[in-house]
A and B are shown apart, each in its own frame.
Chain A
Amino acid sequence: MRSLLARSVSALARPPAVFWGMLFLLSASVHGMGLRAFVALPVDANGGVLRLAYTGAEDYGNGVLSAGLALGLAPRHALLFGLPYRFSSSQPDAVAPVSLLYRYTQWVKDSPHGTRRLAWLAGYSVPLSTDQHGAVQAGLVYTRFYRRHELDADILYQYGQASRPDSARIDISWQYRLSPRQHPQWGLAPQLNTVLELNGQWIRSQAVNRQLTAGLQWVWPRWVVEGGYGFGLARSDADAWVLSVRYHF
Chain B
Amino acid sequence: MKKQLLMALGLVVAIGQAQAREVEIEVYGMTCAFCVDSLQRKLTKMDGIKSVNVSLKEKRVLLQTAADSPSLDSIRQTVVDAGFTPEKITVKDQKSQ
Contacts and interface: CB of A to CB of B under 8 A. Distances in A.
Interface of B: 28-29, 31-39, 41-42, 53-59, 80-85, 87
Contacts of A222: 33-34, 37
Given A75-B83, A186-B53, A44 B28 contact: no
A45 B39 CA distance: 11
A145 B33 contact: no
A219 interface: yes
Contacts of A13: none
A114 B31 contact: yes
The 3 residue pairs across chains A and B that have the minimum distance between CB atoms: A42-B83, A110-B29, A110-B28
A112 B57 contact: no
Most buried by B among A108, A187, A220: A187
Contact of B83 (A43, A112, A150): A43
Contact of A182 (B28, B32, B38, B57): B57
Contact of A191 (B28, B33, B81, B83): B33
Given A108-B85, A182-B57, A185-B57, A220 B33 contact: yes
A121 B87 CA distance: 28
A92 interface: no
From DSSP, what is the main secondary structure of chain A's interface residues? loop
A219 B37 CA distance: 12
B22 to A, nearest CB: 14
B38 A44 contact: yes
B28 A185 contact: no
Given A44-B38, A75-B81, 19 more contacts: A33-B32, A41-B31, A42-B35, A42-B84, A44-B82, A45-B83, A72-B83, A75-B83, A108-B29, A110-B84, A110-B87, A112-B28, A114-B31, A185-B57, A186-B53, A187-B53, A187-B54, A219-B33, A220-B33
A184 B55 CA distance: 8
A221 interface: yes
Contacts of A219: 32-34
Contacts of A187: 53-54
